[in-house]
Amino acid sequence: MQVNLSSWWTIGSVEIPTRVVLAPMAGVSVQAFRRQGRRFGAGLVCSEMVSCAGLEHRNERTLGYLRIAVDEHPLAVQIFGSDPETMAEAARMVEAAGADLVDINFGCPVKKVTKTGAGATLLEDPPRAAAIVEAVATAVAVPVTVKMRRGLENGSRACLDLGRRLVAAGAASVTLHPRSAKQMYTGEADHSLTAELVELVDVPVVASGDVTSRARAQAVLATTGAAAVMVGRAAQGNPWALREIVGESAAEPSREEIVAELLLFVRETVRELGERRATSFLKKFYGWYLGRGRFPRAFKQELTQLETIGEVEERLLAAAPGAAFVLARLEQEHASVDDVELELPISIYGGG
């Protein structure tokens, strides 16, 4: 049975217009990325993970600006940490900033996070994980969600018992990426576990992992009974994947459309991060946008060697002159909107 990916669903009181969720990705999910995701069909977008310790201590090395634009909603802001009280206070700050959902990270496998007792480490500490969810859910009025992996080790089934505990503690939805922390992003996501989790809990489950096309999304939803799918790496530099998954259009974008979207993304990122930070942050996006056989490899490499954003823009427009007209239309249709600014750390990665 096919699921209508462009249909509404809810997490608690939050209505979500499509069944495609744009994943929280460290060093990727800046405001420009989230706004673009909403334009291309993501029903829910997520911030990259925010360090609760950074929120508590206002560490200068991690301070950034959390900006929430009016056209991002519904938006989840993801937090990580290991102390229930600190997480609860961070959640209050996130709610005050205007987030629609507070998401808790119990899946990050990166050592920088797990060595602090946060992220995937909590998959093997159910009492503490449940205490964190209960503390956060008690602290805020918005729904609280959790993103987790299957467990620390390959073959682990820890997520099943943990999922039930987290829902009992107050989680309004659970996202499962059924790889182990040890796997990182290798191998395949085992969505048979997702199906088992759906049967065990009475809240919406979001299926994450290896969702790269509409056909794959339909297959995952049909075999698991999940409420929605989460798309991550497939959307990096490729928002058209979101449009295809939702079912709006499967047409391959023209060179002019690709360059125009990249230029809009560049300009919005510069506005958010400042040109100095954005110059370095954006380099990985050039390969993502211009890859997949769209432009020669040498051209992508050339862009990463340019010293200023102005030079990048000039070179892109020289490669696809018609992109200027597409860009002008996009900027008129999707002008920068007022946003809320709060001096908080974006993540331990400093936004990129």
Q: What confidence tens digit (pLDDT) does each residue in 304-332 have?
A: 999 999 999 999 999 999 999 999 999 98
14-16 and 9-11 strand pairing: antiparallel
Mean pLDDT of the chain: 90
Q: Which pair of structure tokens corresponds to residue 44?
A: 């829910």
Q: Is the pLDDT of residue 64 over 60?
A: no
In the structure encoding, which two tokens stand for residue 148, read together?
């987790």
Q: How far is CA 170 from CA 134, 166, 199, 213, 340, in A?
A: 6, 6, 18, 32, 28
Which one is the CATH code of 9-250: 3.30.360.10, 3.20.20.70, 3.40.50.1820, 3.80.10.10? 3.20.20.70
For residue range 341-350, what is the model confidence (pLDDT) as tens digits?
Answer: 444 434 333 3
- Angle, CA of 90, 95 and 101, to the nearest 5°: 100
Higher pLDDT, 212 or 55: 212
144-151 vs 75-80, strand pairing mode: unpaired
Question: Lowest-pLDDT range, 203-207, 254-258, 292-296, 312-316?
Answer: 292-296
Residues of the chain with CATH 3.20.20.70: 9-250
pLDDT over 60 (residue 62): no
At residue 250, does pLDDT exceed 90?
Answer: no
DSSP 40: T
Q: ω into residue 126 within 30 of 0, thus cis?
A: no
Q: Which two tokens stand for residue 42?
A: 């993501």
At 69 the pLDDT is 85
- Among 111-115, 148-152, 175-179, 262-266, the range scoring the smallest mean pLDDT is 111-115
Q: For 22-41, write each residue's pLDDT tens digit.
A: 999 999 999 999 999 999 99
Residue with tokens 């800046």: 30
Q: What's the pLDDT score for residue 59?
A: 45
Tallying the residues shown for the chain, one arrives at 352
* Amino acid 348: pLDDT: 36
DSSP 118-137: -GGGGGG-HHHHHHHHHHHH
List pLDDT tens digits, range 114-172.
998 999 999 999 999 999 999 999 999 999 999 999 999 999 999 999 999 999 999 99
Which pLDDT score, from 0 to 100, does residue 93 have?
Answer: 85
Q: With 90 as the cut, is the pLDDT of residue 351 above it?
A: no
Residue 343's pLDDT is what? 41
How does residue 352 score in pLDDT terms, banded at 50, 70 and 90? very low
**pLDDT digits over 219-249, tens only?**
999 999 999 999 999 999 999 999 999 998 8
Residue 60's pLDDT band, with cuts at 50, 70 and 90, is very low
Residues annotated as catalytic are: 108
3-state secondary structure 160-225: HHHHHHHHHHCCCEEEEEEEECCCCCCCCCCHHHHHHHHHHCCCCEEEECCCCCHHHHHHHHHHHC
Q: Given this model, what pLDDT does residue 57 score?
A: 66
> Mean pLDDT across the stretch 76-99?
92
pLDDT at 221: 97
Mean of the pLDDT values across residues 163-183? 97
